[in-house]
Structure formats: C-alpha cells, structure tokens
Structure 1
C-alpha cells in the first residue's frame, strides 16, 4: 500500500513539473559586456538545483573529512569501554564457574582498563558502579581463595567508591556490598562483625529477607537469643520459612531463651519477652515450668503457665506426643506438695475421662499418695506401673508402691515392688 501511494505521488509530481515546464516560455537574459546571453528559465532553475546539490555534497564531504579524527578517537574509546564490560562479564562468569583466581584477574583487568579510560578524560557514565562491581567481584574471588587481606582491601575500596558516589549511584549497590561483607563475616565465624555490618544498613534494608536471614544466623552464632527470636518473628511474618519451619525455629529459640535464665527473676523476664502464641506452645510452656522447678521458683506460677497446655491435652489427648506427656507429668509431680484443690480436681477429672492413660494414672496416683489416699493411690500406681513406657516414671511408680507396702507392713509386696523397680534400672543400663 505504501509503495502504491509513493508511485501515485511520483506521478503527481511528474505531471506538475511537466505542466509547469512545458508551458513556461520565460527566459532569463544575462548581460556580460560585450555579450548578451539568453537562457531558458527552466534551464536556470535546473542549474540552480544542480548547484545546490553539488554544494551540499561538497560540504558533507568536507565535514566527514574533518570529523575522521574525532570518530577514530570515539571508536578507540568505544573499544576500551567494551573491553571493560567484557572483563566484568568474564570475571562474573569465572566466579560462577568456580575459577576464582581467573575471576580475580579479570576483575583487576576491568579496574585497570577503567583507570586508563579515566586518564583519557573519557570516563564511563557508570564508572563508579563499574569500579564498585569490579571490587566486589575481586573481593568475592579473594574470599573464596581464603585471601582475607585482599578481600578486605577490595571490600573497603568498594565501600569507599559507593560512599563517594552520592546521588550518582543507586543505594542498592552499597547495600549489596554491605550484605556481602556481613555474609563473609558469618562464614569466618565472626558474628559481631556481621551484626555490625548489618546495623550499618538503612532501616528499610535491614528489614529485607536476606538481611534478616543473615541477622538470624549471626545472632544465633553470637548467642543473642532474644535478638534472634525477634528476627525469626519478622522472617515468619515475611513468610521466609514454611509454617512448620517457622514454628520449629521460634520454638527452639524460645526454649533457648528460657534456658539462659539462671534464677527465677530472669526466668520471669524471659517469659515476659515471649508472645502469647509462643507461650501457648506445649514445648515452651513445659520447658518454662521445668526451669521454674529447677530454679526453685514459684510452682503455682509454673502451673499457671501449664494450664493452656493441660486444657488442650484434656480436650484432645493426641495434641501432645508421648514425650511431652511424660514431661508434663514430671513437672506437675514436682509441685504436688503445693498443689491446690483446683489442680487436684483437674487431675482427677482428666484421669476419669481417660482412664487408660498410664501417665495420668501415675500423676493421679502420686496426687492421691500426697493426700494420703493409700488405697486409691495403690490402685492407680499399679495400673500405671503396668502400662508406663517411660523408664523413669515406671521406676518411680514401683518405688512408690514399695513405700506404700512398707507403710502397711507388707514386706513381701514391698520386696516385689522394689525388685520391679530394680529390674527397671538394670534394663535401662543394659
């Protein structure tokens, strides 16, 4: 369609020229004493057009001739710029391929070529970023080769270049250098340096997933459990982990935080640092109660911590595995001397609702023993001794039965119970 339109336009122009030139009888007389020259107007017009074309072509030719040196210089600079970029790409490719020595040499070559360009007063528009990336690749290669001195030198140069760039360089470049520096410090097992590097980041960059992951590793390595727990919470909110992994990490850190308490006051402060969801985790609440028992703290407070776990277990016995049920029974048994009527009623009700649970039988039996209900205690402990899988609880159940028999003066039954308890010890040692 376009060709047809052009063809029609050419025909139109030809027709217009033919009409103008064919009927044009005008002449131009040039007086050049002693001559007189008569020229057709059409010929003069064609001559003027031809003269214009010749002059235009001549000027274009002269301009091209005089621009040859400048074009040659631009071509040489362009080749040098391409060499800089080629060296950078080569350094990255060698680094990814695991050829760290060659990657370092390619990064040095890029720096040298960029320096030559700068000396010719023809620096790259992205010169600062090019130098920063070249130093970063050199530092990465030196780190892989365990050359810490060269790595630190490159890293400092990269930081200096990114700091002096101001508005000419995107902030992400400097942040990337700082994140890599923190990563290298972590690999060197230098957690304080890694945390210091991360704190130098802007506030927004500190909340990025990569920065939070590095902070979590560094805090755990430096045993800053509370800081690691706060970081894990942020990562969980950002969905950096699967729900199962996030639950496991937070649970482990909360348990570690409680384990660091060396007295009841520190334990209460650690418990206060936990969020409501973390306090309701069975592993965390049971561990907190165990620490309270170990530190000779307030056992009534420990039972308060255990109450949500207990209610969840009573409502759904499968919500706790066997190991946690045993731990729960042990920690509640440790506070039976000071247990109140409400907790005794809860224990008895739970045992009645689930009469075949040996852990509840043991706990209810020990509670009856503390209240001097000897007959019921003997019945429950005997049933528990026959069903308990935990060696420790099994031994303690038979030892309690032996003491009950001795209180009644039944030496034969007591001896048999002591024998069963001793048999448990032998089997556990075997």
Structure 2
C-alpha cells in the first residue's frame, strides 16, 4: 500500500514538473560585457539545484573531515567504557563461579579502566557506583581467599567512595557494602564488629532490610553468646515470617534451651524461665530441659513439676503427641522428684497408667511411685510389666535395678540375681531410636 502511494505521488510530481517546464517560455539574459548570454529559465533552475546539491555535499564532506578527530576520540572512549563494563561483568561471573583470584584481577582491571577514562576527561554518570562495586567485588574475592588485609583495604575504599551521598546515584550501594561488611565480620567470628556495622545503617535501610538485618543480628548474638538477645531476635524473625514455621520453632526452641542451660543456680534458672514466653514454656523440649536443670541444680522440685504439667497433659491426651525420646526424658524428670511428689501428681500418674495400661513408660513411672510410697507388691507388678516392654536402655536398666532391690528387701535371692542379670544385659536389649 505504501509503495503504491509513493508511486502515485511520484507520478503527480512528474506531471506537475512536466506541465511547468513544458510551457515555460521564460528566459534569463546574462550580460557579461562584451557578451550577452540568453538562458532558459528551466536550465537556470536545474543549474541552481545542482549547485545547491554540490554545495551541500561539499559542506557535509568538510564537516565529516573536521569531525574525524572527535569521532576517533569518542570511539576510543567507547571502547574503554566497553572494556570497563566487560571487566566488571567478568568479575561478577568469576566470583559466582568460585574463581576468586580471577575475580579480583577483573575488578582491579575495571578500576584501572575507570581511572583511565577519568584521566581522559570522560566522566561516566555512574562512575562512583562503578568504583564502589569494583572495590566490593575485589573485597569479596579477598574474603574468599582469606586475604583480610586486601579485603579491609578494598572495603575502606568502597566506604570512602560511597561516603558522599550527594554524588552517589544509589544510596543503597553504601548500605549493601555495610551489610557485606557485617557478614564478613560474622565469618571472622567477630560478632561485636558485625553488630557495630548493623548499627551504622540508617533507619530507612534498617526498615527495608529488617529480615536480613535480624538474621545477621541473630548470628552475631549467638556467636557472642548473648543468648537472650538472640532469642528476642529469633522471635522477631518468626513474627515477620523470615523462616518457615518449623524452622522458627526449632530455632526458638534451641535458643530457649540454651538460655536455660546457662543458669548455674536455681535463682538464675528461675530468671531464665521468666524470660521465656508462654508459647516457649509450653514446648515439651523446653519444659523438660528446664525441669532437668532444676533437678541437677537441686532446686525447687514442685516448681519443676509445674513446668512439666503442659507436657504431661499433652502426652496423656495425645499418646503420639510426644516422641519416644521426650517421653523417656519426661519420665526421668518426674522420677527424680518422686520423693517429694504430692497427692495430685500421684493421682495424675495413677490415672494415666490406668487409662493406658500397655504404656511401658507409664508402667515404669507408676511402679517407681509405688516403690517410693512403699507399696511393694504393686511396685513389683508394674515394674515387671515395664521391664518386659521398655525399649529405652536407661529405663530398662533402672526398672530391673529397682526389681533387684525389691527382691533383696524381701530376701528372694533367686529373683534378685535374675533381676541383676537382666540389668547387666542392657547391651543386648533393643534400643529405640531417639
């Protein structure tokens, strides 16, 4: 369609020119003494048009000739700029591919090309950002090569280059450098330096990078053995869903257990327990570990049993709610305080065993409670049943030791010897997976 329109337009122009030139009788007389030259108007117009075209072509040729030095300079600048970006990209590729020496050389080549461009008077719009990124890549490569002096030198140069926020096109570049510095401090096991780097971030960056900053703070606090601060940070990360639900629970549970393990007397243990939130206190692993610490520190055993109550209720209501290892730990923690157990707990143990008569762990716990209360016959019955069904080697050994003691107290040497032998054969007993 366009070709047809152009053809029609060309025919129209040709027709107009033919009509104008065919009937044009005008002449132009040029007097050049002693000559007189008569020229047709059409010829003069053609000559003028030809002269205009020739003059225009000559001016264009002269302009191109005089612009050759400028074009050559621009071509050289363009080549150097391409080499600069190529070196920068090569540094990134070499870094992610694990070739750290090559990555550092490529980053240094990019810096050299940028300096050459600046010396030639060609200022890139992103020159400062290019320098910062080049120093950052060189520092990252030096960190991977364990060349800390070179890393610190490039890091300081990157921070110096990004110090002027008026010139920096992207303020996030400096924030990225500071975050990388915090990570390197963590890799060097220097949590104090990592926390100091994080504190240097502006408030806006702290809000934008909250999850990443909290992750770094969590690692730094754990390395610095600041368990309570690490636990508070993990709670914030769980709140902002920086981890999956299972991972968040695992991290919080581990930190809560570590906080309780740091207590060296009952008072410290009570303070550590008070720092935990209700959800954390109801975690069976945390409650059982707290009770075990209280027993180990010879603290208030009724308080420890109160801590165990949620885990106990969960085990009783949901037989599969606790794993085998936790059920064993819960039984051992309760057994440690059976000498001072109250009537409520005795009723709970008896009721749970009666409702689950085939549970060997409950049989063992009820049998030990009866033994503490000098109910010898019932204790022997329950412990004998438990000894046949227990899978945990520690409970198995304890059950047969208790049966041996009962047999010796009533003077039954044969049964005592059998019980001692069963307790000694613990290595041949099947062990459950913990």
Q: TM-score range by the shorter chain?
A: 0.7 to 0.9
Q: Unpaired runs of 5+ in structure 2? A: 430-434
Equivalent residue number for residue 58 of structure 1: 58
2-structure distance, mates of 1:135, 1:322: 55
Deviation at 1:134, TM superposition (A): 1.8
Shift in Å, 1:237: 5.3
Match of 1:367 among 359, 369, 372: 369
Among candidates 204, 207, 213, match of residue 204 of structure 1: 207
Q: What is the aligned partner in structure 1 of residue 81 from structure 2?
A: 81
CA RMSD across the alignment: 3.1
Q: Could you say which residue in structure 1 is the equivalent of 2:104?
A: 104
Q: Is 2:274 aligned against 1:263?
A: no
CA offsets, 1:237-270, max 9 Å, x none? 5655555444333322221122112233433333
How many Å separate the matches in 1 of 2:10 and 2:261? 94
Distance (Å, rounded) in 2 between the aligned partners of 1:6 and 1:272: 90
Describe the shift of the 1:50–1:352 C-alpha distance in structure 2 as closer, same or farther (beyond 3 A): same
Counting only pairs closer than 5 Å after superposition, residues 346-357 of structure 1 correspond to structure 2 as 346-357=348-359
Q: 2:252 and 2:366 mapped to 1: Cα distance? A: 33
- Other-structure match for 1:10: 10
Residues 23-32 or 373-382, more deviating: 23-32
1:151 corresponding residue in structure 2: 151
Change in Cα spacing, 1:65 to 1:208, as seen in structure 2 (3 Å) is: farther
Residue in 1 aligned with 2:161? 161
Alignment of 1:128-277 (within 5 A): 128-166=128-166, 168-201=168-201, 202-209=205-212, 211-236=213-238, 241-277=243-279
Distance 1:37 1:272 in 2: 119
Partner of 1:335: 337
Query: For structure 1, which segment, 195-204 or 310-319, has the greater mean C-alpha deviation from structure 2 after superposition?
Result: 195-204
Other-structure match for 2:302: 300
Q: Deviations over 1:342-376 (max 9, x none)?
A: 33222121111100112111222233344444443
Compared with structure 1, are the counterparts of its residues 70 and 302 closer, same or farther at alpha carbon in structure 2 (3 Å cutoff)? same
Residues 399 and 418, structure 1, Cα contact 8 Å, conserved in 2: no
Taking the aligned partners of 1:81 and 1:350, their CA distance within structure 2 comes to 79
Distance apart, 1:286 and its partner CA: 1.0
CA positional deviation for 1:236: 4.5
Deviation track 1:384-415 (CA, whole Å, cap 9, x = no partner) reads 233333344334434444555666xx2126x7
Moved more, 126-135 or 86-95: 86-95
Asked if the contact 1:194/1:218 (under 8 Å) is kept, the reply is yes
CA distance in 2, matches of 1:188, 1:267: 32
TM normalised by structure 1 equals 0.86
308-317 vs 16-25, which deviates more? 16-25
State yes or no: 1:122 paired with 2:125.
no
Q: CA deviation at 1:68?
A: 2.0
Q: Name the CA shift for 1:40/1:340 in 2 (closer, same or farther; >3 Å).
A: farther
Deviation at 1:278, TM superposition (A): 2.9
Would you say 1:416 and 2:415 are equivalent positions?
yes
Pair 95,321 (structure 1): closer, same or farther in 2 beyond 3 Å: closer
Q: CA deviation at 1:288?
A: 1.6
Task: Answer yes or no: is the 8 Å Cα contact 2:139–2:155 preserved in 1.
Answer: yes
Q: Number of residue pairs matched? A: 426
Cα offsets for 1:94-150 (capped at 9, x unmatched): 444544334333322322222122122212222112211221222223233332211
- Could you tell me which runs of 5 or more consecutive residues in structure 1 were left unpaired when the two chains were aligned: none
Summarize deviations over 1:33-84 as a string: whole Å, max 9, x none: 7766554443343344333323322322232222222222212222222222
Rounded to whole Å, the distance in 2 between the matches of 1:229 and 1:311 is 26
Change in Cα spacing, 1:412 to 1:167, as seen in structure 2 (3 Å) is: same
Aligned CA distance change for structure 1 residues 266 and 39 (closer, same or farther; 3 Å): farther
Moved more, 391-400 or 109-118: 391-400
Q: Which residue of 1 aligns with 2:347?
A: 345
TM-aligned CA deviation for residue 294 of structure 1: 2.4
Give, in whole Å, the separation in 2 of the partners of 1:257 and 1:333.
Answer: 24
* TM norm structure 2: 0.85
2:285 matched to 1:283?
Answer: yes
Superimposed CA distance per residue, residues 287-320 of structure 1 (whole angstroms, 9 cap, x where no aligned partner):
1221222233343333333222222211221222
